[in-house]
Amino acid sequence: MVLRVGNASGFYGDRFDAVREMLTGGELDVLTGDYLAELTMLILGRDQLKDPATGYAKTFLRQMEEGLGLAHERGVRIVANAGGLNPAGLAEALRALAVKLGLPTRIAHVEGDRLPATDGVLAANAYLGGAGIAACLAAGADVVVTGRVTDAALVTGPAQWHFGWGPQEYDRLAGAVVAGHVLECGAQATGGNYAFFRDHDPEVLRRPGFPVAELHADGSAVITKHPGTGGLVDVGTVTAQLLYETAGARYPGPDVTARLDTVRLTPDGPDRVRIDGVRGEVPPPTLKVGLSRLGGFRNEVVFVLTGLDIEAKARLVRDQVEDALAKARPTDVRWELVRTDRPDAGTEETASALLRLVVRDPRPEAVGRALTGAAVELALASYPGFHVTATPGRGAPYGVFATSYVPAAAVPHTAVLPDGGRVSVPPPAHIRALEPVPEPDLPDPLPEGPARRVPLGRVAGARSGDKGGDANVGVWVRTEEEWRWLVHALTVDKLRELLPETAALAVTRHVLPHLRALNFTVAGILGEGVASQARFDPQAKALGEWLRSRELDVPAGLL
C-alpha cells in the first residue's frame, strides 16, 4: 500500500504552472505545496497590516482556479501551508472558488499556530506537526490549508492519515519526516541548485521536474519524479537536500525527533532513490516559534568605479559620503567593495568594480533623504567616471526574524473540518529534552601520499542555507575513500581558515557517516536573519559554493 505524495512549490513565488504539471504528469494521491519561509511570514504580515482579510499566499488561490478541477478529476488531495497568517481566510476564499467552479470540493484548515504577538512583534507562529492535517483528511477533506507547520508536516500528516500510524510509531513518523524534508524545497531534490550539475547533460537540468515520494507503511520511501520531466534524482541530489537547513544528528519536530545519522540512501533504478533505516525518538517538550517584527529602515546605493585607481576612487567617495552623513548618522553603515573589474578590459562593464553602501536605522529620515542627498549631490564632485547603478530611494522597512520556544501543551493546535467542526489536537503524551549525539567513531585516515592543491569542490559537494541569524553548510562526498579524507581534513579550524567570515563566530561540526557528510552550523553570520539583509548573500545560499571554491591539499589519488 503505497502513498504517492508530490510537491508543487518550494517557496512563495515558485513555478506557477508546477501545480498543473504535477496533477497531469503522473499518478499521485496527495499534492503538497510549501509556501512559507522566514521572509514570507514578514511579507504576509505586512500584507495583513494593509488588509486584515489577507495574510495568505495569493498565488496558491490563483493556482487553484485550475488545480481544484484537475485534483477533483484525478482524486488527488491537496495539502499546503499557503494559509500563512490567515488559514481560515484562505479556506473561505477556496470555498467561494469551488462554488464558482461548480465543484463539490471539501475544504478544511488547521489553525492554532498563531500566538499573541507582543513587544513590537508583527507575527508569532508556532511550528505545528502533521496531526491536524491527518484529522482533516480523515474527515473527508479534499483540500487542507494550514498556517505555520513544519515543512515536513505536509507529508507526515497525509502519511498518518493514510497508514493509520499512532503518535508513538516514531520510526515510521521519522521516515516520513525525512521524506518530507526532501520534498519541501521542490526542484532542489531533482537537480536544482546541485553542486555537481556539470556532471550531467545541461539539457536535463534546464527545467527540473518536481519530486514525488512513494511512502510505505513501514516508514521507508522512494524519492522519484514524474516520467518525462526534467532534472534528475540520484543519491547526490537527495543527500544535498537532506543537508539543507538542518544541523545535527537529531532533527527535532512536533511529531517526532528524526535521527539523521540513521538515514540510508540507496539507488532504486533510474531517477529513484530509496530512503530507509530511519530511526525516530520521542519529540521534544517545546515547539519552535518564529517571531517576525519590523527592525527599522534600510537603504542602499551601489557606486560604479571604472578603470584605473579603483581603491583610491572607493576611498574618495567613501570619505565624501561619510562626511555628508555625519549629521544624521545611521546606526548601521556598511561598505563593501566588490572587485568585478579586470585590467585592460574589452568592455566598460568588465572594467568596473562595485562599491556597495547599505545603511540601517530606526528612523526613516536617517536612511532616506540623508543618503539620497549624500549620493546624488556628489554626481559632479567626486571620482572620475562617477555613476551609480540606481538612485537610492526613500528607504524601506526591513524585518527581523527570531525564534523562541513554548511548551507544546500551550499551543491550541486545532483541525477545522469541512463541516465546520473543530477537533483539538492533543500535545504529545511523551516528551524528552533534546540532547546532542556523541560524535561517532571516525574511519581511519587515508595513508600519507602525494597531494595537489585544488578547490574543495573537485571532490566535495555542498549546500547551505539560513535559519534565522545562523547558517548551515552541509558538505558531502561520494566514495568511502573521499569520506576517509574529508572527515579528517575538514575540521572546524579548517572551515574557519577557508571561510574567514566565520573566524570569530561559533561553529559546530556534525558528523553523518551514513551520508558521508559533515554539517556545519555557523552562529550569527546572517545577523538578524534574511529579512534584515545584513549580508551580501542574506540567506547563505552560496556559502557552500564559496567553500567549494577554496583551495586545500587533496590526496592526488582522489583526483
Question: How many H helices and E strands in the chain?
Answer: 15, 27
> Counting Cβ atoms within 10 Å, is residue 143 exposed (0-12), middle (13-18) or buried (19+)?
buried
**91: pLDDT strictly greater than 80:** yes
Strands 107-111 and 143-146: parallel
**37: pLDDT strictly greater than 90:** no
Q: How many CA atoms lie within 13 A of 372 on its CB side?
A: 11
**534: pLDDT strictly greater than 70:** no
Residue 488 confidence (pLDDT): 98
pLDDT category at 469 given cuts 50, 70, 90 is confident
The three cell numbers of residue 453 are 592543491
pLDDT in tens, 368-394: 988 898 899 999 999 999 999 998 888
Over residues 499-507, the mean pLDDT reads: 95
Question: Residue 496: which H helix or E strand, with range?
Answer: helix 492-498
pLDDT in tens, 298-341: 999 999 999 999 999 999 999 999 998 888 889 999 999 999 99
**241: pLDDT strictly greater than 80:** yes
H helix runs in 184-309, sequence order: 202-205, 235-243
The three cell numbers of residue 309 are 585607481
Which is nearest to 171 in space by CA: 259, 62, 106, 77? 259
pLDDT category at 66 given cuts 50, 70, 90 is very high
pLDDT category at 533 given cuts 50, 70, 90 is low
Which is nearest to 250 in space by CA: 279, 273, 220, 219? 279
Q: Do 184 and 10 meet the contact criterion of CB atoms below 8 Å apart?
A: yes
Residue 530 confidence (pLDDT): 66
Query: How far is 76 from 74, CA to CA, in rounded Å?
Result: 6
Instruction: State how far the alpha carbon of 70 is from the alpha carbons of 22, 103, 139, 387, in Å.
Output: 10, 11, 21, 52
Range name among 65-79, 357-371, 523-537 with the lowest pLDDT average: 523-537
Query: How far is 518 from 487, CA to CA, in rounded Å?
Result: 7
- Residue 183 contacts by C-beta under 8 Å, 6 or more apart in sequence? 5, 6, 7, 32, 154, 155, 189, 211, 212, 213, 223
Q: How many CA atoms lie within 13 A of 259 on its CB side?
A: 19
Q: Which residues of 324-356 are buried (b: 16+ CB within 10 A; e: fewer)?
A: bbeebebebbeeebeeebeeeeeeeeebbbbbe
Q: How many CA atoms lie within 13 A of 218 on its CB side?
A: 7
Q: Do 494 and 553 meet the contact criterion of CB atoms below 8 Å apart?
A: no
Q: Do 284 and 228 meet the contact criterion of CB atoms below 8 Å apart?
A: no
pLDDT in tens, 216-230: 999 999 999 999 999
Residue 532 confidence (pLDDT): 66
CA trace torsion 154, 158, 160, 164 (10° rounding): 180
Which is nearest to 485 in space by CA: 549, 547, 558, 548? 558
What is the 8-class DSSP label of residue 254?
A: S
Query: How far is 7 from 422, CA to CA, in rounded Å?
Result: 27
**130: pLDDT strictly greater than 70:** yes
Query: How far is 313 from 383, CA to CA, in rounded Å?
Result: 6
- Residue 493 contacts by C-beta under 8 Å, 6 or more apart in sequence? none
Q: Helix crossing, 369-376 with 310-324: angle to 10°?
A: 140
Q: What share of the chain is helix, strand, coil (3-state, %, to 5)?
A: 30, 30, 40
- Residue carrying the nine cell digits 513555478: 15
The three cell numbers of residue 464 are 547551505
The three cell numbers of residue 104 are 463539490
**397: pLDDT strictly greater than 90:** no
Query: How far is 504 from 419, CA to CA, in rounded Å?
Result: 56
**535: pLDDT strictly greater than 80:** no
What is the 8-class DSSP label of residue 367?
A: H
Residue 300 confidence (pLDDT): 92
Which is nearest to 9 in space by CA: 55, 74, 78, 76? 78
Query: How far is 297 from 532, CA to CA, in rounded Å?
Result: 9
Over residues 158-165, the mean pLDDT reads: 98
Q: Which residues pair with 338 in a beta bridge?
A: 354
What is the 8-class DSSP label of residue 230?
A: B
Q: How many CB atoms lie within 10 A of CB 307?
A: 15
